[in-house]
Structure formats: structure tokens, C-alpha cells
Amino acid sequence: MKLKLKSTLALLLALVLLLTAAVPAFAADVLPSGAVLVTESDTIKADDFTIIAHRGLSACAPENTLAAFKLAGRSGCDGCEIDVQPTLDQRWVCFSDLNLSASTNGVGLVSAMTYDQISEYTITRGGNVKNYPNEKVPTLEEAVAVCQLYGMKVVLTVRNGVVDQIDSLIATMKVLGVMKTATVISANHDILKKIQQNGGRAVYNATPLITIGAINTAQENGYVGLSTSTVLPGATLMNRVMDSKLELYPFDVDSLLKAEHMYNAGIKTVVSDCLVKHAPTPEKMSANILTGFTRIFNEIFNFFAKLFRKLSLEMLLNGLKSSVGV
């Protein structure tokens, strides 16, 4: 009996240790290196200011990684701008450059490799990369899941050269349920028209400067907005932009001074590597993780309930045998 009890306690301890090791760290952090709080501004009202994290919070974690997307969500960013492109086997992945060598320990064109091949490599360059030693090139599905978990808007930037594969992106967006809510930025009109035809939000990339021609092009094609650099046009042209009712997505707003400049100009949405609304909150568990842990705990409970009933029955039988002198 004592042997069985010791074995049971040892098993319980092993399960507790296993679960403790399996649970990821969900503790809140201090403000990460490279982040800039908009709440330190006397001008900007954070509730009236939309921050789209450029490739995730890329000043604080490697760009276009799940770490950068999660950190953006945990730090109060309202959305994530994500560079996407297709692999050889038509999986859409989050990666800005054409060649993996730009930020991984791999070499080769993303478009010439399968997703399984790409997933063998690790991100080796980017913001605070030493804090994120095991990041991989994520899929669009993984990125959207993070955005949905934290209630962030999805903003996709698509290269001109993928026009022939845009139908597979549209199919993926539909499966993920973001076809009509995600914003797609491109300088290619064929890409933007296909996005529009499928009920999507198309934004014309007018980088580096907004011009009368860019405004006219966006309006004539029915695009919802323009993306641009932080260099704003003169007052007359700026008034034309505001009168057009086009949404503006200025990139590279990477300081409090630039953010205040945009805010004072009436631009309440910016794309930034570093702006945040607060220090990171604890990391959230996805529904899949919660379901998994619930299943594990149920199995443990059922195991010990059966064991307890068995031990109780044995104790009862032993007690009866003792009472009758068997």
C-alpha cells in the first residue's frame, strides 16, 4: 500500500513539473528597448490615435515575426502592417525581402522555396534579436491569428511582382475571414483591382510623396486610401487630401515629434516601428492553447479520480478482511 502511495505521489509531482515546463511565460514586461510611448506627448490623445505597427513592433523585435506581432498587440497597437509574399508551394509568408539571407540564416529566394524548406531557417537579424533566438518566418495564417487574438487590424503590403499569384492570397484571406476587413497596400493597380473585386480594402502606395496625380488615381479607382512617407505635402495639397476623404497611411513615423506632426495635421493613423500606447501586458493564450491545457487537466483529474476509487476500494476490502480475521 505504501509503495503504491509513493508511486502515485511521484507521478503527481512529475505531471506538475511537466505542466510547469510546458506553460510559456505570460508575465508582463517593462517597456521594451526601442519603444516610444505616445502617452508621453502633451498633444496626442491616445484614444484618438491609431498606431499600425510596421512589420509588427519591429524596433523591439525582429520584423515580420510572431514575436513582433505579439509585442505590438501587448503594447496597445491598433494594427499590424505585414509584408506578405508566396512561397513556391503557394503558402503566403510574412517576409519583406526577396531573399531569405536578408534576415535569416538561410539563403535563397522565398518564391523559389517551399514553406517546409523556409521553416528550417531561423531569424538572425532584427530588433533585439538576441531576445528572440528561435523565431521562424511565420505564415499569414499565424500572423492573422495573433492579430485576431489581440483585436488588431490586419494591413497587408503586397509586392508588385506577385500579381500572378494574387488569387491564392485572396483565397487565403477568405478562409481566414479577413477578406473584407483587412487593408491591402500595393502600387500595382491589377492587384488592387482584384482585391476590390472581392470586397477588399485597397490602398494605393504613393510612396515617397503624395501628389495630385496620386490623389486623382486613388479617387478614380475607388481606393479607400493612400500610403506615403512621413513627408507631408504643402498646405494646399494637404487640404486636397483631407477633402478627398481618403485614408492616409504614413510610414516611418518613428519618433514622438513625427507623431505629433501628423496628429496636428489631422492625420490620426500612422505606421510606426516603435510607437506604443503602454508597456506590454501579459501575453494572451490562444484558444487552442487553452483547449489543450483544459484537456490535459481533465485527463489528470480523471486519472486520479479512478486511482482514488481503486485505492479506496482496496482499503475497504483490507479493512473487512482484518475485521473478520482473514
Q: What are the per-10-residue average pLDDT scores of the chain (326 residues)?
A: 49 46 49 96 96 98 98 98 97 97 97 98 97 97 98 95 94 98 97 98 91 94 92 80 92 95 93 97 70 51 62 62 58
- The CA distance from 192 to 200, in Å, is 9
Alpha helix stretches (DSSP H) within the chain: 2-22, 66-74, 115-118, 140-150, 166-176, 189-197, 212-220, 235-244, 256-264, 287-323
Backbone angles phi, psi at 112, to 5 degrees: -105, 5
53 forms beta bridges with 80, 272
pLDDT attached to residue 322: 64
One-letter amino acid of 245: K
pLDDT attached to residue 301: 54
Q: Which helix (H) or strand (E) holds 158?
A: strand 153-158
Global pTM? 0.81
- The CA distance from 46 to 249, in Å, is 17
pLDDT attached to residue 164: 93
Crossing angle for the helix pair 66-74 and 140-150, nearest 10 degrees?
10
Q: Going from the N-terminus, what domains does the chain have, and what CATH number goes with each?
A: 46-288 (3.20.20.190)
pLDDT attached to residue 21: 42
The size of the chain, in residues, is 326
pLDDT attached to residue 294: 45
| Residue 151 region by backbone torsions, left for phi larger than 0, else alpha for psi between -120 and 50, else beta | left
Alpha helix stretches (DSSP H) within 37-186: 66-74, 115-118, 140-150, 166-176
- The CA distance from 187 to 162, in Å, is 12
Give the max Cα distance, the chain.
Answer: 105
The residue with cell 509585442 is 71
- Rg over CA atoms, the chain: 26
- The CA distance from 233 to 264, in Å, is 14
The residue with cell 509574399 is 85
